Structure 1
Amino acid sequence: MSFKLLVLRNDWFFKPYSEFPDFEKLTKLINKSYSKARYKFDIIRTQRIKDPNTFLEDFSIDNNKRFCFFILLGPESLFDKIRLEDNYDRDFNIPNRNLEESYACDIPEKYYDLFRFDNTSELEIEEVGTDYVLDDRTLKRVLGTAGLKSCNKEEPNACETSELLLTCFTSFMRNTAPQILDAMINKYLLESSYMSSHGLLNTTTKKVILYAEVIREHKLVEYYSSKCGFEFSSEILIEVDDKGRLKNNPFEDNILATKNFHVSFIHREIYI
């Protein structure tokens, strides 16, 4: 019984000579996880992705930057087992109207041992093609996601340091996110057999810097530092006007908030 890491690369998001893929499933997946902090801390009022049609804009993804999206799937046989024995199923179509609904697809504690994922777990990596469709059956197996976006200003082949932005980082089982990140880094990003296909690194890369931008009031600086190996760099105060709009918005448009908050910039260095 193996876990699977699905890898969606640039060519999946920007299919040549065709329309963009259907982002509805990814939107439901990411909004479900991000809504947990939205309701728990009551700072951000808007969903992470406003609409499936604005998926790329909301994550500032364009075809000029290399991008990979990772989805960790639990073993299908285990999900089939608990569906038959316990009538347990997950439904990402449940709306995110409150905190309880936002946690509706998190793996219950009684199944933690069953789906425990670490560096000893058997992992299959699948780089999907442009014709791949994320269906509901696959969605029900998702344990977490992460995205890596290149932010190098120079041509990649000229850089000994590759700079990547971590985004879309979600988890649907407690204490699983750090393991997802480590698997993504060690078994895919730094694995020489995949470098030519993902294009995020090159043969001259000696150091990788992962950046992340998090809301301090969501207690994410402490989490990323203690669990994921990141260090604090700097932060800015985001001011909110009386209509909930951000006065100094470093993100995509149309974000609404209930009060002022801080965006913290953090990083992690990885030497090859």
Structure 2
Amino acid sequence: MTRKDHYYNKAKQEGYRSRAAYKLKQLDDLENVISGGDTVVDLGAAPGGWLEVAAERVGPQGRVIGVDLQRIKDLEMPGGTDRIETIRGDMTEDRTRDRVTDAAAGSVDVVVSDMAPNMSGEYSLDQARSLHLARQAFETALDLLDSGGNFLVKVFDGPDVDALRADLEGEFQYVRATAPDASRESSSELYFIAKGRLTGPVREGDELEVEIVDVGSEGDGIASIEGYRLFVPESEKGDVVEVRVDDVKPNFGFAERIDRD
């Protein structure tokens, strides 16, 4: 049995709307993108296979919001569907984004996108359109995600994909590219898993002058930049030092002193 037939039949047997459900299962098993209680936004959600998996993973305390230009038929889930909401609209329009924000109560933990263009049969054109959709999803994720949030997006491999990865790495703590087993054998689709949305005012490599306002339990000095904590070894409270940021986390970072180089 081919891989295509295997996952198609498996989806039918297990009651999922599409074989794509197993892509999200495998990607989430690989990197723990979705946690119980999360609020997840699924872009390009029709026909609903990813919505079904996301709803299972977030559990009864979570929430899943599916967005698509196409109508998504009502889902039936064990335990009910109160945690699932579908929105018909275009995420590039402010009106749709406002509806998603309202549905999420202003807090989104994960954005996922399995969007693909209508296929023309000309790979270079289809790949360029796929990249455009991935970048639209990326921009949407930056607008919606809380600090520390996760993003998962599909793109067809080809030109400028490395540039997309570089941009993701500038906005997330960790980025991985992979292709799940459930993808068709002939497919060139690639999934970027980006974890730990960075919203702080500094980035790795930044050089700046800071004042040490406190000392942490490990003895490192702590500077505060717009409320963001930056740990600086070999410094004391009251010091004003020049530093280079060498590691950035969603809620704090680490820097080394360069005024002693």
* TM category, shorter: under 0.3
TM-score of the superposition, structure 2-length normalised? Answer: 0.27
With CA pairs under 8 Å and 6+ residues apart, which has the higher RCO, 1 or 2?
A: 1
Larger radius of gyration: 2
TM-score of the superposition, structure 1-length normalised? Answer: 0.27
Greater strand proportion: 2
